[in-house]
Amino acid sequence: MSDPIAYERDGDVAVLTINNPPVNALSQAVRQGLMTRMDQAEGDAGVKAVVIVGEGRAFIAGADITEFGKPPMEPSLPDVIDRIEASPLIVVAAMHGVSLGGGLEVALGCHYRIAVPSARIGLPEVHLGLIPGAGGTQRLPRVAGVQAAIDMATTGRHVKADEAHKMGAIDVVQDGDPTELGIAYAQKLLDDGAARRPVSEMPAPEGIDWDATYDAVLARGRGQIAPAKAVRAVQASVEKPFAEGLLAERDIFIELMNTDQRKGMIHAFFSEHAVSNLPELKGVDPRAVDHIGVIGGGTMGAGIATAALLSGLQVTMLEMSSEAGEAARGRIGGNLAGALKRGKISQAQHDAIMDKALQVSTDYAALSDVDLVIEAVFEDMAVKKQVFTKLDDVCKQGAILASNTSYLDVNEIAACTKRPEDVIGLHFFSPAHVMKLLEVVVPDKTAIDVVATGFALGKRLNKISVRAGVCDGFIGNRILSTYRQAADQMVMQGASPYDIDAALEAFGFAMGPFAVADLAGLDIGWAVRKRKRAEGTMPDGATYADKMCEAGNFGQKTGKGYYDYAAGAKARVPNPDVMPLIEEDRAGTPQRTFTADDIVRYYMAAMVNESAKVVGEGIARRPLDVDMTLLFGYGFPRYRGGPLKWADIVGLDDLLGDIKSYAETNPEFWAPAPLLEQLVAEGKTFDSLNS
């Protein structure tokens, strides 16, 4: 590749411009280029200062993540940064876009830093299961203080230029062209006789209560270790001389580089990008979507409308009455008020949305000009078919008709229209303007440009879009149904709901399945069981879960479910009425003890087995599609990468062995997935199917 670092002179100032699209990652060529160009500047007569600037949309987005897991290539980033800092010339970083991870570390290796107002800095390594590995935890405390450094290194959050300036990480914030700003600032420093200012020579900041900080960060990480390790690295910047602090940081970095959590989080990072980049959509132009219709202004419909409005789309909300329409407008207004309060939108944007972009109507004719319509009406096939029949009559040619159904057969819905090629499923997760996951459900006759439009809409709404085939529950809810049944099996065999929740929260879930059920409402499952018993697809006889509901225990919404919420949702005191009901139902079932590890293995075996069936049947395109679904829609812990990444790490042959042993007592539920058996037989991993 051509030299990624351009070299130019402007009077006494040499300008090094990094050009490594798309985000100036610090590849080996960039690192080598910086070393070479620093030598060139120092050998160039008359040069008294150097400016380092990024071409394109970023200063530097960080180390080149594609190099992770491969043998390290010289020069290392710490060596490059030490080389920059040791230069006898004054070195200025001119920053715009993002300066993240190694990018910020390069900037901190410079003697001065100038940035445009829209620039952002950050140390996001914890999102990759790592900590900064090129001096970030040693230099940032020296310019910004310990608290700011710990906040940034443990959360990975992006910090805007003005805040970075206030904390001392950036010296000057000024609007303009980054290169010109850098040259002018360097020239001013020379004119003022400013000295070089190596950060490593600045005094170490005051210490804090490190153990208390470590414990608090560890507890917040819910099993993820990198953030807490970052605290220890910052501690080294205070308690050790700079050179020894660098070594301490490097030791922690290398320790984390070899962890399963790093493997899981890097997998999540790349999968997050790959999941919406489907090969079959390459070169397919999506249809233009500027105006959408939403039918049904309940929580889900209002959330969908909110997400669309926040992305700049015009929305026509259709409800069945003016009162319902106004209630929908109120829900959307409430959602937008939250966005306003969080600074996501300005008051002017809020008012423009509510006064212009959002229209509410009770007349289907109002949808005659929409480019795409999403129905979010009652989950009943007859109702859906009525809606789609009307849409077929009213909507213009080329309009896309989408259902937000969470499990109904979208092929059957498409078949009731004269335009099945324009029908698709867009399954949002509640609250739709907050949850990142969008399942793009593709019926048999859907046109490829309609699929492309679904993904384009998902990107515009800042969603993680996953392609799903048509089956009961698509990807996420189908797998959820299976592992929830596994949890219920364990309850019948002797594990308490409380042990199960505790074991899975220790595994990394934010909430265990029974706490989640209390949050969602136990009456939802009760209604489904009653419907299925009425249809004859479920055996008669009330279970303990039914008896809980018959007693009015619906979970948080009634103050009691599996837990008693009298002391508040955080307390989660077990409801004493539950175990006696469970013990009644257990009668006749052989009992066994479950350790926390047993619980995780049983629960995860069910999740992995069903996931393998979903991939094997083509409902999900690749294992990574299942991983991203569970990460972004079901609270699976990100540092484990997803259920199928976790399975690869723990070993598929052991998992298959577990499943076969469970199948001895329940052969139908635990029938091994053919794909899992095939991978074990071939000695392959789920990851081998992700390319």
Catalytic positions, written as ranges: 105, 125
Nearer to ligand T1G, 34 or 98 (CB): 98
Among 6, 65, 415, 596, binds ligand T1G (CB under 6 A): 65
By CB under 6 A, residue 375 contacts ligand T1G: no
Q: What is the DSSP letter of 593?
A: -
Least CB distance to ligand T1G at residue 61 (A): 4
Least CB distance to ligand T1G at residue 249 (A): 9
Least CB distance to ligand T1G at residue 77 (A): 5
Least CB distance to ligand T1G at residue 277 (A): 6
Least CB distance to ligand T1G at residue 201 (A): 21
User: 401: closest CA among 463, 285, 389, 438?
Assistant: 389
Among 4, 24, 51, 64, binds ligand T1G (CB under 6 A): 64
Least CB distance to ligand T1G at residue 632 (A): 15
Q: Using CB under 6 A as the criterion, what x/- string covers residues 273-312 for binding ligand T1G?
A: x---------------------------------------
Nearer to ligand T1G, 153 or 391 (CB): 153
User: 444: closest CA among 464, 425, 457, 463?
Assistant: 425
Q: Which stretch binds ligand T1G (CB under 6 A): 120-128, 231-239, 458-466, 624-632?
A: 120-128
* Residues near ligand T1G (CB under 6 A), total: 24
Q: HSE, CB side, 13 Å, CA atoms: give it for residue 67.
A: 16
- Residues 561/522, Cβ–Cβ less than 8 Å: yes
- Among positions 249-278, residues that touch ligand T1G (CB under 6 A) are 273
Residue with tokens 């390319």: 691
Nearer to ligand T1G, 230 or 479 (CB): 230
By CB under 6 A, residue 132 contacts ligand T1G: yes
Residues across the chain: 691
CA 510, distance to chain mean position in Å, is: 14
Burial class (CB in 10 A: 0-12, 13-18, 19+), 284: middle
* Amino acid symbol at 581: L
- Residues 376/304, Cβ–Cβ less than 8 Å: yes
- Among positions 79-108, residues that touch ligand T1G (CB under 6 A) are 98, 100-102, 105
Strand 90-95 relative to strand 98-100: parallel, antiparallel, unpaired?
unpaired
What single string gives the DSSP state of each residue in 426-444? EEE-SSTTT--EEEEE--T
- Among positions 168-227, residues that touch ligand T1G (CB under 6 A) are none
Among 54, 109, 124, 205, binds ligand T1G (CB under 6 A): 124
- Among positions 325-354, residues that touch ligand T1G (CB under 6 A) are none
Q: Which stretch binds ligand T1G (CB under 6 A): 131-139, 144-152, 358-366, 683-691?
A: 131-139
Among 66, 346, 661, 665, binds ligand T1G (CB under 6 A): 66
Q: Using CB under 6 A as the criterion, what x/- string covers residues 135-154 for binding ligand T1G?
A: -x------------------
Integer angstrom CA distances of residue 293 from 400, 426, 486: 10, 13, 39
Alpha-carbon gap, residue 307 to 339, rounded angstroms: 10
Residue with tokens 């008051």: 347
Alpha-carbon gap, residue 174 to 356, rounded angstroms: 35
Among 85, 125, 439, 518, binds ligand T1G (CB under 6 A): 125
Alpha-carbon gap, residue 386 to 196, rounded angstroms: 74
- Among positions 485-504, residues that touch ligand T1G (CB under 6 A) are none
Least CB distance to ligand T1G at residue 360 (A): 33
Among 4, 129, 133, 325, binds ligand T1G (CB under 6 A): 133
Least CB distance to ligand T1G at residue 687 (A): 17
Alpha-carbon gap, residue 190 to 109, rounded angstroms: 19
> In sequence order, which residues have a C-beta less than 8 Å from that of residue 220 and are 6 or more positions away?
227
Alpha-carbon gap, residue 201 to 203, rounded angstroms: 6
The first and second tokens of residue 74, run together, are: 């010289």
Q: What is the DSSP letter of 286?
A: P
Alpha-carbon gap, residue 131 to 252, rounded angstroms: 8
Alpha-carbon gap, residue 402 to 397, rounded angstroms: 14
Nearer to ligand T1G, 70 or 341 (CB): 70
- Residues 283/310, Cβ–Cβ less than 8 Å: no
Among 4, 54, 62, 297, binds ligand T1G (CB under 6 A): 62
Least CB distance to ligand T1G at residue 27 (A): 8
The first and second tokens of residue 498, run together, are: 């409380």
Nearer to ligand T1G, 100 or 605 (CB): 100
Q: Using CB under 6 A as the criterion, what x/- string covers residues 42-61 for binding ligand T1G?
A: -------------------x
* Amino acid symbol at 314: Q
By CB under 6 A, residue 130 contacts ligand T1G: yes
- Sign of the C-alpha dihedral, residues 664, 670, 674, 676? negative
- Catalog residues that contact ligand T1G under the rule CB under 6 A: 22-23, 25, 61-66, 77, 98, 100-102, 105, 124-125, 128, 130, 132-134, 136, 273
